Structure 1
Amino acid sequence: MTLAPPSHERGITTLTLDSPANRNALSARLVGELAGALETCGADDTVRAVVLTHTGNTFCAGADLTAPPDPHTLVALMRAIVALPKPVVARVTGHVRAGGLGLLGACDISVAGPGASFALTESRLGLAPAVISLPLLPRLDATAAARYFLTGERFDATEAARIGLVSLAAGPEGADKALVPVLDGLRRASPQGLAASKELVTATVLKSFDSHTEDVIARSAALFASDDAREGMTAFLERRDPAWVL
């Protein structure tokens, strides 16, 4: 399994990415298991909200280059998170890279601990954050998106909160303590109230999916088939700089 068995406490179901061998990278298997678990949560009246978290020091390392998911499947997973009539809350205490930011950006609320770090590294592989731009661009500060999409720089939880990637950067108390008032608020809300409120705040993100999915999938496919991408991914796997680095 790449997803730990779910836990449930007072209306909150926790789904834990648990594939430490590849740093919780988005393999076809992980995407399928997570999509199935979310569908189950959506149909369960005892589930008020979902917490998405991880084992190890990496929330998600991006796409698994050895067993990548079909782009349509990955888009469907992100859209399912956005469209789920129950809030999905990300708890991040480690690193998030590339496609992992798309998973994070699809969540409604996110709390990042002081050990979290983030980077959109696609440009360094000869690629672009095309598919994951669907949930990210409607939510991120436009100037910051331009910087981090282009440079691949790493940034911390405080910066992630400033640019709109996460809802809250937890202080020294850590992510779990910062989540307490968030989860308490969700438990106090009615299921109808949560669903109706989420529908309002996700409308723009869903429009992004409905308007641009096929375009970004085509862009992504063309990039993955390019010479630059072959060199970039080979260099990454061989732990060396690609040929274009000056």
Structure 2
Amino acid sequence: MLVHLSAAAGVATITLDSPHNRNALSRQLTAELGDHLTAAGEDPEVRVVLLRSSGRVFCAGADLTEARNLTGDGPREIVRLQRRIAALPKPVVVELAGPVRAGGLGLVGAADIVIAAASVTFALTEVRLGLAPAAISVSLLSRLTPRAAADLFLSARTFDAAEAAAIGLITRCVPDDDLPAAVTETLTDLLKADPQGLAETKRLLTAEMLTRIDRDGEQAARRSAELFASPRAQQAMRDFLTRTKPAT
């Protein structure tokens, strides 16, 4: 299992636990995450969902080994995951204790509340591999101003949690030591609400994003898949994987 689900006191906790590839969005991880989101959404005892990670990295983005081998249908699965998070009738809170890269930002963009430790960094690195953040644009373009999106999509620069909060990507940046308490406080506040109130309020908040996903998701996924299969991206991914392959 690469993703774990536990539930207690009205909170379903979903933990990404694939340290060997830094929680990259492999076929197995995305399938398990989707199944756990569905289970949490259907559980009448669950009122709030917490998405977190084990290890040092929240999510490294697409699994480039699978993408390099053109295995599976990663872009469509990433679009589906974003829709599943946005459409879930329960708030999804993300706890970020480690870096987020590329496709992982789609999970952040689709979530309702995101709390990050100050040391967390972000980067949309797709352009450096001959790609574009097409599949995750369906959630991110609903969060970012056009200027912020242009800057981060095109430059691929690394930015910190304070900037992420300032531009609307995340909800709050807190000192690293305060992260557990901040998440607990947020969950406690959400649990005070009536489930119907939460569901209907979330419906209002995510309507625009869901409209964008339903309108643009298939085209974005198709374009992303075409780019992953392109000769330039294939060579760039080959070079990247060669550079980052552990010594034997």
Mark yes or no: TM-score above 0.5. yes
Structure 2 CA distance, aligned partners of 1:162 and 1:219?
A: 30
**Is the partner of 2:95 in helix, strand or coil?**
strand
Instruction: Let me know the Cα RMSD of the aligned residues.
Output: 1.3
Structure 2 CA distance, aligned partners of 1:172 and 1:64?
A: 28
Task: Map 1:219-234 to 2 at 5 A.
Answer: 219-234=223-238
**Is the partner of 2:243 in helix, strand or coil?**
coil
Residue matched to 1:29: 28
- Give the helix-richer structure, 1 or 2: 2
Residue matched to 1:151: 155
Residue matched to 1:188: 192
Deviation readout 1:145-176 (Å, 9 max, x if unpaired): 11110011001110111111110001254311
> Which consecutive aligned stretches of 4+ in structure 1 deviate over 6 angstroms post-superposition?
none
Gap change, CA 1:172 and 1:58, over 3 Å in 2:
closer
Percent of residue pairs bearing the same amino acid type: 51
Structure 1 CA distance, aligned partners of 2:130 and 2:96?
A: 27
Pairing 1:2–2:2 present: yes
TM-score (structure 2 length as normaliser): 0.93
Structure 2 CA distance, aligned partners of 1:182 and 1:23?
A: 26
TM-score (structure 1 length as normaliser): 0.94
TM-superposed deviation, 1:100: 0.3
Residue matched to 2:92: 88
Residue matched to 2:182: 178
How many residue pairs are counted as aligned between the two chains?
Answer: 239
Residue matched to 1:101: 105
State the AA in 2 paired with 1:67: E
Structure 2 residue aligned with 1:129, among 126, 130, 133? 133
Name whichever of 230-239 and 27-36 sits farther off. Answer: 230-239
- Flag structure 2 segments of 5+ consecutive residues without an equivalent: none
Which has the higher relative contact order, 1 or 2, with Cα contacts under 8 A spaced 6 or more apart? Answer: 2
Structure 2 CA distance, aligned partners of 1:214 and 1:73?
A: 11
State the AA in 2 paired with 1:190: D
Name whichever of 45-54 and 7-16 sits farther off. Answer: 7-16
Structure 2 CA distance, aligned partners of 1:149 and 1:143?
A: 10
Do 2:119 and 2:176's aligned partners in 1 also have CA atoms closer than 8 Å?
no
Pairing 1:162–2:170 present: no
Structure 1 CA distance, aligned partners of 2:35 and 2:158?
A: 32
TM-superposed deviation, 1:66: 1.8
